[in-house]
C-alpha cells in the first residue's frame, strides 16, 4: 500500500527519468554483447520517398491549372475537362498587344484610299503649266506615306534643270506640291525657227511665253555653250543620267546649259555701244556684231579686250567706203591687223 502511494507521489520528472533508464537498458545489453563477440541480427532500413501531391508538382512545373468538372446528367456522373492554365497579365502582354494594334493601324493607313496621291500642285511658277509636271508622279500614285520625294526631285532636276531652288512638299491627305523659282531672262536668242532665253548667269533655257525688254540677238546657230551636255534622247540615255545622278556626280549646276562666258561678256559689252536702231547679231565664225540700219553687218569677234581700237578701225573703213560710194554687205574687224569687207 505504501509502495503504491510512493509511486503516485512520484513527481513527473522522476517518471520520465525512470522511463529513460528502462529504455536504455537494451542498448547497454547490445553493446555488451558486441564486446563479447556476439553479432545481433540488424533489420535493414529502407527509406521510401514520399510521393508529392499533384498540387506540389504543378507548383514546381509552372502555372497552376484550373480544374473544371462538368456534370453529364442527373445520375451524378461527372466528367473532368482538360485543365485550363491560369493566365497572369503583365506589362509584356500590354506592350505586345499595343505593338500588334499599331501594326494593324499602319497597314490600314497605307492601304486607305484617303491617303492615295491624287493631285499635283505647282506654286511659284507662272510660265509653267501644271500639266507639264503630271508625268513626274505618273506611276507613283501610291500611298502618301510611301511617296518617294527624293526620286521625284531627281526627275524634276533632270527634266527642268533651269528651275532654281526646287522643293517638293506633301499636303495631307493626298496632294503633292512642287515649288520653285523661275530664272529671269535678259537675252532673247533667235536661232532660225528656234528661240532661247538666257539669264544673267548665262543659263540657257527654252522660250516660254513673251517678255518685253529683252536684249534681242539674231544668229543662224544656237547659243554656243561653255560645255556640251548630253541630252537624253532615249529611255536608255535617261536611265544612264538617273544612275549618274544617284552616284552624286550630277547636280543642277551640271545639268543646266550655259552660254560661253566670252560670248556672254561680248553680248553685254556690245549692248552698251550698239548704235541706235541697230540689232545684235552673232556669227559662229566672225563672232559678235550688229546689223546697222544702213543694211550691212559688222563683226568684232568675241575678244573685246581692244574693242575701242576695233571701233575706230570700223569707223575708218566705213568712212572710206562711203566716200567711194560703196555699200558693203559685211565688215569684219575681228582681227585688227587684217580687217576686210564683203560686197553682195
Q: Give percent of the chain above pLDDT 70.
A: 65
Q: In this predicted structure, what is the pLDDT of residue 28?
A: 45
CB atoms closer than 10 angstroms to residue 257: 20
pLDDT in tens, 158-179: 788 888 888 888 888 778 888 9
What are the start and end residues of each CATH 3.10.20.310 domain in the chain? 115-182+225-258
Whether 61 shows a pLDDT value over 70: the answer reads no
The string over 186-211, giving b where at least 16 C-beta atoms fall within 10 Å of a residue's C-beta and e elsewhere, is: bbbbbeeeeebbbbeebbbbebbeee
CB atoms closer than 10 angstroms to residue 264: 21
What are the start and end residues of each CATH 3.40.50 domain in the chain? 183-224+259-344
The region that residue 90 occupies, defined by phi over 0 for left and psi between -120 and 50 for alpha, beta otherwise, is beta
Whether 128 shows a pLDDT value over 60: the answer reads yes
Cβ atoms of 272 and 237 closer than 8 Å: no
Q: If you classify domain 115-182+225-258 with CATH, what class do you get?
A: alpha beta
Q: In this predicted structure, what is the pLDDT of residue 267?
A: 92
Q: In this predicted structure, what is the pLDDT of residue 143?
A: 74
Three-state secondary structure call for residue 158: helix
pLDDT in tens, 198-214: 999 999 998 988 899 99
Whether 125 shows a pLDDT value over 80: the answer reads yes
Q: Give me the architecture of the 183-224+259-344 domain, per CATH.
A: 3-Layer(aba) Sandwich (3.40)
Q: In this predicted structure, what is the pLDDT of residue 92?
A: 82
Q: In this predicted structure, what is the pLDDT of residue 36?
A: 44
Whether 153 shows a pLDDT value over 80: the answer reads yes
Least confident interval from 45-49, 152-156, 196-200: 45-49
Task: Dig out the grid coordinates for 66 from the structure.
Answer: 484550373
pTM over 0.85: no
Q: In this predicted structure, what is the pLDDT of residue 63?
A: 52
Nearest-5° angle of CA 98, CA 103, CA 107?
145
Cβ atoms of 276 and 309 closer than 8 Å: no
Cβ atoms of 169 and 179 closer than 8 Å: yes
Mean confidence (pLDDT) of the chain? 77
Amino acid at each position: 500500500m505504501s509502495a503504491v502511494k510512493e509511486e503516485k507521489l512520484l513527481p513527473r520528472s522522476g517518471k520520465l527519468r525512470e522511463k529513460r533508464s528502462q529504455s536504455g537498458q537494451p542498448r547497454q545489453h547490445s553493446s555488451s554483447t558486441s564486446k563479447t563477440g556476439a553479432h545481433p541480427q540488424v533489420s535493414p532500413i529502407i527509406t521510401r520517398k514520399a510521393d508529392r501531391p499533384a498540387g506540389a508538382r504543378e507548383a514546381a512545373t509552372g502555372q497552376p491549372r484550373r480544374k473544371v468538372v462538368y456534370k453529364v446528367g442527373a445520375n451524378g456522373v461527372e466528367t473532368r475537362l482538360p485543365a485550363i492554365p491560369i493566365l497572369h497579365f503583365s506589362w509584356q502582354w500590354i506592350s505586345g498587344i499595343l505593338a500588334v494594334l499599331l501594326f494593324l493601324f499602319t497597314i490600314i493607313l497605307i492601304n486607305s484610299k484617303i491617303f492615295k496621291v491624287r493631285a499635283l500642285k505647282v506654286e511659284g511658277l507662272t510660265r509653267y503649266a501644271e500639266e507639264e509636271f503630271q508625268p513626274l508622279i505618273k506611276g507613283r500614285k501610291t500611298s502618301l506615306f510611301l511617296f518617294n520625294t527624293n526620286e521625284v526631285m531627281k526627275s524634276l532636276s533632270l527634266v527642268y534643270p533651269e528651275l532654281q531652288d526646287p522643293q517638293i512638299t506633301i499636303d495631307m491627305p493626298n496632294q503633292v506640291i512642287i515649288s520653285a523659282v523661275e530664272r529671269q531672262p535678259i537675252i532673247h536668242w533667235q536661232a532660225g525657227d528656234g528661240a532661247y532665253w538666257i539669264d544673267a548667269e548665262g543659263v540657257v533655257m527654252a522660250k516660254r511665253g513673251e517678255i518685253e525688254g529683252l536684249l534681242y540677238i539674231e544668229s543662224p546657230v544656237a547659243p554656243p555653250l561653255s560645255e556640251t551636255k548630253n541630252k537624253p534622247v532615249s529611255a536608255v540615255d535617261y536611265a544612264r543620267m538617273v544612275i549618274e545622278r544617284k552616284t552624286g556626280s550630277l547636280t543642277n549646276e551640271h545639268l543646266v546649259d550655259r552660254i560661253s562666258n566670252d560670248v556672254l561678256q561680248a553680248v553685254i559689252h556690245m549692248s552698251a555701244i550698239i548704235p541706235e536702231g541697230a540689232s545684235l547679231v552673232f556669227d559662229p565664225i566672225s563672232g559678235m556684231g550688229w546689223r546697222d540700219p544702213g543694211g550691212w553687218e559688222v563683226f568684232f569677234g568675241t575678244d573685246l579686250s581692244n574693242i575701242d581700237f576695233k571701233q575706230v578701225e570700223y569707223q575708218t573703213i566705213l568712212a572710206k567706203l562711203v566716200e567711194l560710194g560703196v555699200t558693203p554687205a559685211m565688215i569684219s574687224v575681228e582681227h585688227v591687223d587684217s580687217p576686210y569687207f564683203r560686197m553682195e
